Amino acid sequence: MLKNYIKIAFRVMLRQKFFTAISIFGISFTIMVFSIIASITAITFGNDAPNINRERTLYYRGFTVEGDQFRFSAPEPVFYDQVEKLANVETMGRYIAGQLTSFKNGKKTSIDVVFTDEKVWKIYKHDLLEGRTFTADEARGAQSIVVITESVKKHYFGDEKAVGQFLETTPRLRVIGVIKDFLHIGGVGPEAAQAFIPLNRYHFGANKNPIYSAIIVAKQQSDLPEIKQSLSKLINERYNPKKRNVELWANDVYERNDFGDYLAIMAVFIFFTMVIPALNLVGINIGRIAERRSEIGIRKAFGASSSVLAGQFIAESIIITLIGGLLGVLLTYACSGLVITHIVASNDDVIASNSVLIHWDVIMYAVLASLFFGLLSGAVPAWRMSRLHAVKALKNGNL
């Protein structure tokens, strides 16, 4: 029975080429849009590796005192020592973000770097592809070493082993490790870096008084407001003798990326790109099946039951949905590269692989959702048409 359903389904699809093409395109486009939006949302706000602690992370970038135009940041290590000792702080990493420029084959290349301590490897969970990360002693010793992402490795060294080789930058850096590419959207510091350098290496040369930022991980998400209050208190005690109002530049990921506005925009976008096409697909299915009244009448006259006819129409919808789902996966992979190149990383000289935007669990849910809507869009008209009387169907009567 199933074999016959499949044979008939493909014959009908070939006979109704326009409808088949419209349906498959609609399903594949919907899966692509849903998958990319869901992946971007997960990258921006979720706890996917390497950002495993994002929901309880506070990003400290300094403070502004009332009456001053400039943002200040606490430079003394003792201030950060006090922050790390707060009861509701699990760990804290300091960093300084910047860029390094190098020349390869006569072409200038800039990469985003972060000078950071060894805490970064505890706060974030990076997949190590080659070598190792730097230790606390190496971070304090200001060694000229670097951990790079796989895209930087491919750009500079191709398929060769990167560990032990040097990035011809200023300073010249020896590669000790390669980590898997990760995508950042609105990330800061370690969440946007393509290379990681020991923090104290920044002190060399003219950088005698660095201005640090910090990634503060709370023990629980509910501790974030209290940590902000403690930061304001420490700042007032050390840097605000006149006790003027202090605006703290410390936000969690939802505040920093305007989570509420993002959800509102995405809800409208998804409605117009997914819900409306899904409703249109139901209408197309009803029209398609309605055009086959004479076929239904003839098959009923020869003894076909309502359940057999309904099963046939549903099988056709599921097969079309599966084909659209497969094309949707391919479209997602192809278009994610365009998203990374032209939207996410448009200002980067070294661009990550499009595989970093592929979340297979998201794609799986998108395909399952499309199967559900395909089944639903096929089941309703199939049930109605299968119950149509043979004589009425042959007369091309109304439902």
Q: Residue 172: its pLDDT value, please?
A: 85
The Cα 86–Cα 123 span in angstroms is 17
What does the pLDDT read at residue 164?
Answer: 94
For residue 153, is pLDDT > 50? yes
DSSP 277-295: HHHHHHHHHHHHHHTTHHH
| pLDDT reported for residue 129 | 94
User: Which pLDDT does position 285 carry in this prediction?
Assistant: 66
Beta-strand ranges (E) seen in 187-309 are 195-198, 213-218, 246-251
Query: For residue range 374-393, what is the model confidence (pLDDT) as tens digits?
Result: 676 666 666 666 666 655 55
Q: What is the DSSP letter of 58?
A: E
Q: What is the pTM of this model?
A: 0.72
284 pLDDT more than 70: no
The 10s digit of each residue's pLDDT in 335-389 is 776 665 555 554 555 545 545 566 677 677 777 777 776 676 666 666 666 666 6
pLDDT tens, residue by residue, 245-255: 888 888 888 87
Number of helices and strands in the chain (H, E): 14, 10
Can you tell me the distance from the alpha carbon of 225 to that of 212, in angstroms, rounded to the nearest whole number?
21
Cis bond upstream, residue 77 (ω within 30):
no
Mean pLDDT computed over every residue of the chain:
78
114-128, 163-177, 337-351, 360-374: the lowest-pLDDT one: 337-351
| The pLDDT of residue 346 | 47
Q: What is the pLDDT of residues 48-63, one digit of tens each?
A: 778 888 889 999 988 8
Percent of the chain past pLDDT 70, that is, above it, reads: 69
User: What's the whole-number mean pLDDT along residues 158-170?
Assistant: 89
Helix (H) or strand (E) holding 332: helix 306-339
What is the model's pLDDT at position 230?
93
